[in-house]
Amino acid sequence: MSTSSSRHSSIPSSPVSSGYSTPTSSSYSSHSSNSYSTNTRHVNSNSNNSSNGHGHSNGHGAQYSPILVLEPVNNTFMLKSLELPDQTKVKIGRQTGVATAPNPTNGYFDSRVLSRIHAEVWSEGNKVYLRDLKSSNGTFLNGRRLCPENTESEVFELNQNDNVEFGIDITDENGV
């Protein structure tokens, strides 16, 4: 199945190619050992079927919210699954102190490839969006960088099974 991404605007835009690989049904691979890969999917976020005004209905009363799945490329952190309640932006970035300490419920990491505030992901209605926030090492959607270094990107709509990578490989003078 072919997917494409579009910029979030009223102006028609050209599609972004979607060359991605899926070694398993819900994970992605990357050739960059220090980058972070993501996947979005919908899961049942309300087991009692009551509506809280957020999320999306499956037609049977159950509410669903998109889930941002953050997968390590090189086992540098545990898999994270972050719910994206409607209109709530999740920041992706590097730990800079106690408030941004990495934990299973946030998008912060102890990583030299991420900027302090690298990118943001959010949902609106039944769509999920991504924006690079002037990162140094880039945000990539299906292998294509969203914007030049230190420039805020336009907003891109994510489709299920899109491959998003935050940052690129950084090596020191010893190749490590």
User: 48: domain CATH number?
Assistant: 2.60.200.20
Q: Tell me if 120 sits within 8 A of 8, measured CB to CB.
A: no
Please indicate, yes or no, if residue 176 is contained in any of the structural domains. no
Q: Tell me if 120 sits within 8 A of 89, measured CB to CB.
A: yes
Task: Indicate if the alpha-carbon torsion angle 83, 20, 139, 87 is positive or negative.
Answer: negative
Q: CA dihedral defined by 92, 95, 100, 104, rounded to 10 degrees? A: 70
Q: Residue 6 has which token pair?
A: 């579009």
User: What's the average model confidence in pLDDT over 99-121?
Assistant: 94
Please indicate, yes or no, if residue 4 is contained in any of the structural domains. no
Please indicate, yes or no, if residue 19 is contained in any of the structural domains. no
What confidence category does residue 171 fall into, taking pLDDT thresholds of 50, 70 and 90? low
Please indicate, yes or no, if residue 29 is contained in any of the structural domains. no
Whether residue 12 has pLDDT greater than 60: no
> For the chain, how many residues are written?
176
Q: Residue 83 has which token pair?
A: 């719910």
Predicted confidence at residue 170, as pLDDT, reads 62
Please indicate, yes or no, if residue 75 is contained in any of the structural domains. yes
Predicted confidence at residue 60, as pLDDT, reads 54
Q: Cα(5)–Cα(146) distance, rounded to whole angstroms?
A: 11
Domain count, the chain: 1
User: What's the average model confidence in pLDDT over 153-173?
Assistant: 85
Whether residue 54 has pLDDT greater than 50: no
The mean of the pLDDT values for the chain is: 71
User: Is the whole-model pTM more than 0.75?
Assistant: no
For residues 57 and 152, the model is more confident at: 152
Q: Which domain holds residue 105?
A: 36-166
What confidence category does residue 63 fall into, taking pLDDT thresholds of 50, 70 and 90? low
Q: Tell me if 115 sits within 8 A of 134, measured CB to CB.
A: yes
Name every residue whose Cβ is closer than 8 Å to that of residue 30 and which is 6 or more positions away in sequence: 37, 73, 163, 165
